[in-house]
């Protein structure tokens, strides 16, 4: 198993508060990693570090064996819970943005044949996320689910090596959320994506993921709770088709019922 993304001894500290301590991970190509954990356990910090929004205090991150600069780039796409799309652009404009930035460094806009080509590509992408009929709408005219679909399309048009999702479906109602799960699973297969998703929803983490990471503090000092950081306390590989083995390894925090565990291995995993 070749690691696409490697985290080596990552520490994230804010002042004397330690958020993440000594996180080392290898994330394989084509995997779908769910990150769960209690609030304040550094899930989002870890995502920000991988995204390049923040530099780790110590440690290094390698993408394809090369050290990543502490800055965001087109090799890592992202969908946040909110504010992921540009309010001043239509759906089509939002998706074309990534193409325009790459092809028109100064004007950041395309004209003529280039614009037509980008438009076609963007329409195809919008079709893939089911927004073909809504491509001239502005985000303010869209529902929360549509906005997240748009945010995914916008990120995927750049064909990122890794797609990072920060509680992408947290603000959606259960029905829409189920649709979005089907969508992201389909896109993950079709576009051969590597996905890292932070979520609060355990069921979501286990249904979607091929691997579930739980971040939490290993040690706790009651007098100085901020001096110990969180790290990956559980690392469950879900690609094995043995429910019993999974059952054994699933922790009681996760509190999964047997049928839930079963459903993990049935669907959406067509890669093995």
Which residues in this chain contact other proteins in the complex, by CB under 8 A?
51, 53, 71-74, 76-78, 80, 82-89, 97-98, 100-102, 105-106, 108-109, 138-141, 151, 154-155, 158, 160
| Look-up of token digits 């100064």 | 106
Asked if residues 119 and 96 have their Cβ atoms less than 8 Å apart, the reply is yes
Nearer to other proteins, 163 or 256 (CB): 163
The CB-of-253 to other proteins minimum distance in angstroms stands at 29
Rg for the chain (alpha carbons), in Å?
19
The CB-of-225 to other proteins minimum distance in angstroms stands at 27
Structure token digits, residue 212: 């579930």
The CB-of-240 to other proteins minimum distance in angstroms stands at 33
Task: Please state the separation of Cα 25 from the chain's center in Å.
Answer: 16
Nearer to other proteins, 76 or 217 (CB): 76
Nearer to other proteins, 143 or 262 (CB): 143
Nearer to other proteins, 163 or 213 (CB): 163
The CB-of-49 to other proteins minimum distance in angstroms stands at 13
The CB-of-191 to other proteins minimum distance in angstroms stands at 16
Task: Please state the separation of Cα 87 from the chain's center in Å.
Answer: 22
Nearer to other proteins, 36 or 50 (CB): 50
**Number of helices (H), then strands (E), in the chain:** 8, 10
Distance CA 159, CA 179 (A): 22
User: Beta 195-198 vs 211-217: how paired, if at all?
Assistant: unpaired
Q: E strand or H helix at 77, and its extent?
A: strand 76-79
Structure token digits, residue 239: 């690609």
């Amino acid at each position: 198993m070749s690691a696409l993304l490697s985290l080596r001894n990552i520490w994230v500290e804010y002042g004397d508060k330690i958020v993440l301590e000594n996180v080392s991970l290898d994330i394989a190509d084509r995997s779908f990693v769910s990150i769960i954990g209690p609030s304040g356990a550094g899930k989002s910090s870890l995502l920000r570090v991988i995204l390049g929004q923040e530099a780790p205090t110590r440690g290094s991150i390698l993408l394809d064996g090369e050290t990543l600069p502490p800055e965001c780039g087109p090799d890592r796409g992202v969908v946040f819970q909110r504010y992921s799309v540009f309010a001043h652009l239509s759906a089509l404009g939002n998706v074309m943005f990534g193409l325009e930035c790459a092809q028109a460094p100064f004007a950041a806009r395309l004209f003529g044949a280039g614009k037509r080509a980008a438009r076609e590509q963007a329409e195809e992408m919008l079709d893939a996320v089911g927004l073909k009929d809504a491509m001239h709408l502005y985000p303010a005219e869209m529902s929360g689910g549509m906005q997240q679909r748009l945010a995914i399309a916008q990120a995927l048009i750049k064909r990122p090596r890794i797609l990072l999702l920060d509680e992408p479906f947290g603000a959606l109602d259960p029905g829409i959320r189920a649709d979005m799960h089907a969508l992201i699973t389909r896109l993950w297969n079709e576009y051969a994506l590597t996905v890292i998703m932070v979520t609060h929803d355990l069921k979501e983490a286990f249904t979607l993921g091929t691997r579930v990471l739980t971040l939490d503090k290993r040690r706790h000092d009651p007098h100085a709770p901020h001096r110990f950081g969180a790290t990956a306390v559980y690392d469950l590989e879900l690609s094995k088709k043995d429910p019993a083995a999974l059952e054994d390894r699933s922790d009681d925090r996760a509190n999964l019922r047997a049928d839930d565990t079963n459903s993990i291995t049935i669907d959406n995993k067509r890669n093995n």
